[in-house]
Amino acid sequence: MRVFITGASGWIGTALTKELVAAGHEVVGLARSEASAEKVRALGGTAVRGDMTDHDLIVAQAREADAVAHLAFTLDFAEFEETVDNEVELIAKVGDALLGTGKAFIAASGTPILFGHVATEEDVLDPAGPAGARARTAAAVLALSERGIRSGLVRMPRSVHGEGDRNGLIAVLVGLDRQLGTAAYVGDGANRWPAVHINDAGRLFRLALEEAPAGSVLHAVGEEGVAMRDVADVIAEQTGLSAAAVDPEQLGVFGALLGGDQPASNDATRQLVGWKPTGPTLLEDLAAGYYTS
């Protein structure tokens, strides 16, 4: 199978490219820079230079591929709405190109934040919620399933962890902790974040491309919920900082996210595609020093 990946050189894209190549698939990756292109080639894929504004290029690659994995997203809060507008427009164009082909179009998304309730694959992203900023994108992807396209979502939890993670939310948290001089948690720290090891996330994305039915919503959740007080305690052990509760306002926009209880289930995902996460836990990766060395 020839798979075209946007964001192939990114954190999740790298894991997916490795999975696909190892499984005997051909990978073509969109790369914004020559450094990204070199990374794709080093992983065994073919690089195509371009970015998310190159609609004609992306549509042409989607036509040539047997499946498309959409992972790229430029996070620019100053132009966030414009970025989502571009993404939704692009998805519509890809939909026109793949109409009735039955080809897979699988996109990354985020697990819903229901604050205190375990999110399932049946729950819909709230456009007004903290994880719902790209709800329009998710809706556009699932709508393709009504046009003869095997589209679906792989929802990622708050932490997609592993060795080499430099930009994920746990890496951001450790950076904020160092600035504050405290391994921070909010309230009593009993609130939970779902998590998954990067290798498990890559494997689930491969399974989705290979076999997930049209309209599927999958949860790449290895751990339903990890208590943030436990996360803070391990960070404290690794850095020498003291773990302590902080006013969420000290953490800016990150404060509400850190303090929210947002567990997520993977039961339906396991049953649908036979996925079983096997990678290290979030606390194990923290204890290994991947985020503090």
pLDDT digits (tens, 9 = 90+) for 246-288: 999 998 888 888 999 999 999 999 999 999 999 999 999 999 9
User: What residue has token string 């894991």?
Assistant: 15
Task: Kindly indicate the confidence band of residue 126, based on its pLDDT and cuts at 50, 70 and 90.
Answer: confident
pLDDT over threshold 60, residue 236: yes
Identify the DSSP state of 99: T
Angle CA 176–15–93, to nearest 5: 95
Task: Give the SS3 label for residue 240.
Answer: coil
How many other C-beta atoms lie within 10 A of the C-beta of residue 34?
10
pLDDT the model gives residue 133? 64
pLDDT over threshold 90, residue 62: yes
Task: Kindly indicate the confidence band of residue 113, based on its pLDDT and cuts at 50, 70 and 90.
Answer: confident
User: What residue has token string 């996109």?
Assistant: 107
Task: Kindly indicate the confidence band of residue 125, based on its pLDDT and cuts at 50, 70 and 90.
Answer: confident
Residue-wise pLDDT for 168-219, tens only, equals: 999 999 999 999 999 999 999 999 999 999 999 999 999 999 999 999 999 9
Task: Give the SS3 label for residue 2.
Answer: strand
Identify the DSSP state of 124: P
Sign for the pseudo-dihedral over CA of 124, 125, 129, 135: negative
pLDDT the model gives residue 35? 97
pLDDT the model gives residue 115? 84
The pLDDT mean for the chain works out to 94
Q: Tell me the domain boundaries of the chain.
A: 2-158+197-219, 163-195+223-287
Which CATH number is associated with domain 2-158+197-219?
A: 3.40.50.720
Nearest to 109 by CA among 89, 127, 90, 82: 127
Separation CA 195–CA 239 (nearest Å): 21
Q: What residues form DSSP beta bridges with 109? A: 155
Task: Kindly indicate the confidence band of residue 114, based on its pLDDT and cuts at 50, 70 and 90.
Answer: confident
Do strands 192-197 and 223-227 pair parallel, antiparallel, or not at all (unpaired)? antiparallel
pLDDT the model gives residue 130? 52
Are 256 and 223 spatial neighbours (Cβ–Cβ below 8 Å)?
Answer: no
Nearest to 90 by CA among 12, 6, 2: 6
Are 277 and 266 spatial neighbours (Cβ–Cβ below 8 Å)?
Answer: yes
pLDDT the model gives residue 75? 59
Task: Kindly indicate the confidence band of residue 73, based on its pLDDT and cuts at 50, 70 and 90.
Answer: confident
Residue-wise pLDDT for 78-104, tens only, equals: 667 888 899 999 999 999 999 999 999
pLDDT the model gives residue 132? 58
pLDDT the model gives residue 253? 81
How many other C-beta atoms lie within 10 A of the C-beta of residue 75?
8
pLDDT the model gives residue 128? 66
Sheet holding 216-219, edge to edge: 46-49, 26-31, 2-6, 67-70, 104-110, 150-156, 216-219
% the chain with pLDDT above 70? 96
Task: Kindly indicate the confidence band of residue 76, based on its pLDDT and cuts at 50, 70 and 90.
Answer: low
Indicate the fold that domain 163-195+223-287 takes in CATH. UDP-galactose 4-epimerase; domain 1 (3.90.25)
Angle CA 263–265–268, to nearest 5: 165
pTM of this structure? 0.95
State which amino acid sits at residue 225.
Answer: G
Are 264 and 119 spatial neighbours (Cβ–Cβ below 8 Å)?
Answer: yes
Separation CA 89–CA 72 (nearest Å): 14
Task: Give the SS3 label for residue 60.
Answer: helix
pLDDT the model gives residue 252? 85
Mean pLDDT for the stretch of residues 105-116: 92
